[in-house]
Amino acid sequence: MGSGYLSCTSAFSGSPQPQPCGKALMQATGHPNDILPLTLTSATQELFGCRCDEDVTGDNPYKILRKEDIVQDMRMRAAVSDFSPMKQLVLDYPEDELLLVYDRDFIYGSSFYLVLTADAKERHLKPVVALGVEVALEREPSEVFAAQKTSEPQPWISLGSEQEIEEESVTDSRPRYRISRVRREFGSPIFFSDRNAMETKDGFIECTPYQDKNFSLKQMERHTGVQTIPNLKSSSTQTQWTYPRSMCTQYEPREFSEEKKENCLQSEKLKNFVNSVASRFEMAIQQNEIMDVFFDDWKALSEEDSGYGRKADPHLKEYQSFTDLHFSKEKTISNINWHPTINGVIAVAVTERLSFEDRINGSTKLLLNPSLILFWSFSDPINPQLLLECPDDVFSFEFCPSDPNIIVGGCMNGQVVLWDISTHVEQLQGTRTNKRENETPVVRYCAVSGIENGHKAPITDIQWLPGTFEVSRMGVPMENKNGICVQIVTCAPDCCVMFWDIRAPRVLQTMADQRKQKVEEKPLENPHGVPNTFKHLDLTWKPLIRVQHISYCQTQLQRVLSTTFCPQDGELVYTDWKLEKDNDSGRLFSAKPSHRFIIHDGQVNTVRRSPFFKDIILTVGGWTFAIWKEGVTNGPIIQSSCSQKKCTVGYWSQSRPAVLFIGKEDGNIDVWDLLEKTHEPSQTQNITATQITCIKPWIVSSKQHLLAVSDHLGTLHILEIPWTLRSPSSNEKLSMSKYFEKEVDRLVYFEKRREMRAKEKKDYEAEELRKKMVRYSI
């Protein structure tokens, strides 16, 4: 209690200095040391001028008394004086004036108290003022601060914590043992010996085990808690294993029977329902009609934009070019074909670049130099992968659509040749193992048609009939159930279109013949290592049907379902090749061509169907190209203007319905975009210096479209089609078909006008004649 209390109140009552003698008394009474509560009688009060509530009040409790006066009062009144108990204190007081404070609230137990030290007096008088000012400015912290500052260090009182620390610290607790040895035995080896512990009396101290009763206590009483729970029962069962079985169910929606339906329909409820609900439907349906809410305008907008933005690079980029110095020197490429299944393999037919006379003159030399079809692969631009040997120059060849290992070609001497490359397929695919052979493998043809049976002129085009299709001997198309392509069509300038069948002729296959043939075939040698696939046809192959045309027939066929186009010297002929029976003689003959058109100025070298529209055909010849629509017999629906150089070959783009490629005599490729411009090509690009002989596009992947272009010098160029030319714009097909329709309408209109004009002219002439007659008669 002591010091702490004192320090708190020292602000009010001065420093807690220990006061002499009677301070102990004061401490006991609970008021500070340096003041002394006392009671003054009213007589004393009057005497000193400190009457309660008159001279001294609550507001002004201080009264300075002179020491002399107090001393005199004590002398005069001795024991009766109020000041007598503190006589000594008063006498000890250093100054002349003492402070008497009126304790109105009896804080210290009496109505007055006397301040006993000068410091206290000062503090009483002054701090009131000071405090009065400072209280307004500062608050408690300053008082607390002042309180803390004035605390002084006190001696440490032990509360027992140092014993814990002493316990933890390590000290020597037992005396140290001292061992001494004789000096001469320092460092000498020590010898230990054994001693039996039993010998001596206190050799060992035994600690025998004993049964501790603590561990065998039996617990007689125990405190446990108990709780009730519902009855638990555990059991197990084995499920029945079923195996899955295929089952099927069929359902049909439930319908009311007729009468119930009638009842329903008549009911009032239905009427109300329909009436209430109809308005919602009308609103919704109308909304749909007005506009399509889910149409993404943003996406549609972007397509057109990107087309313009990317115009930076519309050119065909050179991807690779193939030329073989050994085999295609002095030669030209007549036909190109991409391998239908193996990626990156392309086959070209190389032929001599000689005119007819030169050919006759140099025929002996030509025999030594065999004609070839080269297979190129993108992985090897220098060496061809495979060579196919031909009996004569091949102008046209095709891969079989159902079996890409079979290739058919048409030769210059009118023969039809078949190759089977199944043994070399792995090599073409690039998985070859013996790379040691520097020689490119040569495959000989495995079947060739008889010279007397074939065409009399070079075969200019050859096509496979589609696998679902075959033609009977009568010329009637039938369904081919196998799905394998078995028939070929050829055409040549000898006015013939021939149909060939690659299966063994059924007529010869009687039982006896079969056996005989089998026996014969076995000892047959296989000198050239040629597969026996078409042995039955070799040298005995005859065409199935021969269609005779009246006029000169050349160039290309288009594989169609029931009709053929046979373009000739500028003429386009449209025929139906069904053989008809002449009723008189019983012979079969072909029908007359149904239409003939003379459009092109020169030889028509290309007839191609559009891959997007089944009835649109492109023809290229002379200096122009034309687009035809099947069924429209007035003429071509579109015809291009004459270009500066001759057009040598043309092809539709595989991915864009409006684009076509035209190859020219001077080595240029014209790219025509029919939706952009129809009076001139949308772009022209020079590929090579000589005439372009063949163009074939091919789609490798959605990002890569290639165009194979061959030229007169025997070089094969592979070009990459840029994005602008290969990705169709939105609605391109629709726009093209609309464009074609418009053109057809134009033709029809022209035709009508022509008729009308003819009629008008006739009428006019008739009128004139009549007028003349009238005039003369008069």
Partner 1 sequence: MSAEVEETLKRIQTHKGVIGTIVVNAEGNTTLITSTKVDYAGLLHQLTMKARSTVRDLDPQNDLTFLRIRSKKHEIMVAPDKEYLLIVIQNPSE
Q: Which stretch binds partner 1 (CB under 8 A): 258-266, 452-460, 579-587, 704-712?
A: 258-266
Q: Which is nearer to partner 1, 238 or 286 (CB)?
A: 286
255 binds partner 1 (CB under 8 A): yes
Of the listed pieces 45-53, 265-273, 368-376, 392-400, which binds partner 1 according to CB under 8 A? Answer: 265-273
Distance CA 616, CA 618 (A): 7
- Identity of the residue, 273 or 750, whose beta carbon is nearer to partner 1 in the bound complex: 273
Mask for 281-320, x = binds partner 1 (CB under 8 A): xx-xxx-xx--x-x--------------------------
Q: Which of 225, 230, 253, 631 binds partner 1 (CB under 8 A)?
A: 253
Piece of the chain touching partner 1 by CB under 8 A; list 227-235, 278-286, 331-339, 725-733: 278-286
Amino acid identity of residue 98, one-letter, is L
Nearer to partner 1 by Cβ, of 738 and 752: the residue is 738
734 binds partner 1 (CB under 8 A): no
Please give the structure tokens belonging to residue 150. Answer: 């004035």
Q: By C-beta, is 208 or 257 nearer to partner 1?
A: 257
Q: Which span (6-14, 186-194, 270-278, 467-475) binds partner 1, by CB under 8 A?
A: 270-278
Among 273, 723, 749, 764, binds partner 1 (CB under 8 A): 273
Spatial separation of the C-alpha atoms in residues 580 and 588, rounded to whole Å: 6
600 CB-near residues (< 8 Å, 6+ apart): 570, 572, 619, 620, 621, 622, 624, 626
Q: Tell whether residue 258 is a contact of partner 1 (CB under 8 A).
A: no
**DSSP conformation letters of 301-336:** HHHHHHHHHGGG--SPEEEEEE--TTTSTTEEEEEE
> Do 564 and 497 meet the contact criterion of CB atoms below 8 Å apart?
yes
Distance CA(398)–CA(404), nearest Å, equals 9
CB 396 to partner 1: min, Å: 45
Strand partners, 418: 408, 447
Residue 614 Cβ vs partner 1, minimum distance, rounded to whole Å: 24
**Pick from 224, 246, 266, 363: which binds partner 1 (CB under 8 A)?**
266
Decide: 419 and 445 in contact? Cβ < 8 Å: yes
Q: Is residue 730 at the binding interface for partner 1, with CB under 8 A as the rule?
A: no
CA 402 to chain centre: 35
Kindly report the backbone phi and psi dihedral angles of residue 435, in degrees, each rounded to the nearest multiple of 5, phi listed first: -90, 5
Query: What is the per-residue burial (b if ≥16 Cβ within 10 Å, else e) of 252-271?
Result: eeeeeeeeeeeeeeeeeeee
Letters for 197-236 (x = contact with partner 1 by CB under 8 A, - = none) are ----------------------------------------
CB of 271 to partner 1, least distance (A): 5
Q: Nearest distance from residue 297's CB to partner 1, in Å?
A: 14
278 binds partner 1 per the rule CB under 8 A: yes
Q: Which stretch binds partner 1 (CB under 8 A): 255-263, 458-466, 513-521, 702-710?
A: 255-263
DSSP string, 328-366: STTEEEEEEEE-SSSTTEEEEEEEE---HHHHHHTHHHH
Say if CB 388 and CB 337 are below 8 A apart. no
The helix (H) or strand (E) run that includes residue 28 is helix 23-29
> What distance in Å separates the CA atoms of residue 491 and residue 476, rounded to the nearest whole number?
19
* Span of 51-59, 277-285, 389-397, 468-476 interacting with partner 1 by CB under 8 A: 277-285
* Closest CB to partner 1 among residues 278, 734: 278
- The secondary structure element, H or E, covering residue 266 is helix 258-266
Q: With respect to partner 1, which residue has the nearer C-beta, 105 or 289?
A: 289
Rounded Cα–Cα distance for residues 743 and 421 (Å): 46
Shortest Cβ 738–partner 1 spacing (Å):
17
Residue 274 found at the interface with partner 1 (CB under 8 A): yes
Q: Closer CB to partner 1, residue 265 or residue 476?
A: 265
Number of residues that bind partner 1 (CB under 8 A): 28
- Of residues 135, 146, 270, 360, which one binds partner 1 by CB under 8 A? 270
Is position 144 an interface residue for partner 1 (rule: CB under 8 A)? no
d(CA 573, CA 594): 8
- Applying CB under 8 A, does 252 fall inside the site for partner 1? yes
Which CB sits closer to partner 1, 146 or 265? 265
DSSP string of 111-151, one letter each residue: SEEEE-SHHHHHHHHHHHHHHHHHHHH--HHHHHHHHHHT-
**Is 271 a binder of partner 1 (CB under 8 A)?**
yes
Q: 218, 269, 299, 311: which one contacts partner 1 (CB under 8 A)? A: 269
Sequence length of the chain is 778
Angle (CA) 395 373 691, round 5°: 55
The CA-atom distances, in angstroms, between 577 and each of 263, 500, 562 are: 64, 14, 7
Considering the complex, state which of residue 260 and residue 473 has its C-beta at the smaller distance from partner 1: 260
Q: Helix or strand or coil: residue 291?
A: coil
Task: Tell me the window of 8-16, 224-232, 249-257, 496-504 that interacts with partner 1 (CB under 8 A).
Answer: 249-257
Choice between 282 and 767, CB closer to partner 1: 282
Kindly list the residues in this chain that would bind partner 1 in the complex (CB under 8 A).
252-256, 261, 264-266, 269-271, 273-278, 280-282, 284-286, 288-289, 292, 294
